Amino acid sequence: MDNLRNVKLEIIVECREDYVGLWSIIRRVRNVGISSDSIVMETTLQLLLQLLSCEKLVAGQIHSENFEIWKSSPQEIISRIKDEWIALGRSPNIGEIAWFTCKGNTGLI
């Protein structure tokens, strides 16, 4: 689907410039017309797995103005995100669960 390919490219471009929150990626997925919460989750996690697996992005969390990379396999990262998302019982908001950036673009914010 071309729309999802465009979403992936937009994510990569934004991650080259800044840290991108999970909530922002979810919003992009919804903007292509996906409205079902379960399909939004599945689609978002698939996109992220692809981007993490090809080493375009790294995942982590921001603590004390530092980006702390999660040093796990892409599958483990996706599993962690999914578990935390389900535990929330809703779509993540700003700052919740995970942030992403391009490999090599980590450090102080």
Total domains, the chain = 1
Asked if residue 65 belongs to a domain, the reply is yes
Find out whether 98 and 81 touch, Cβ atoms under 8 Å: yes
Asked if residue 107 belongs to a domain, the reply is no
- Residue-wise DSSP of 20-50: EEHHHHHHHHHHTT---HHHHHHHHHHHHHH
| CATH value at residue 31 | 1.10.3510.10
Asked if residue 108 belongs to a domain, the reply is no
pLDDT at 26 over 50: yes
Give the per-residue pLDDT at 37.
95
Asked if residue 12 belongs to a domain, the reply is yes
pLDDT at 36 over 70: yes
Tens of pLDDT along 39-52? Answer: 999 999 999 999 99
Asked if residue 109 belongs to a domain, the reply is no
Tens of pLDDT along 51-91? Answer: 999 888 999 999 888 899 999 999 999 999 999 999 999 99
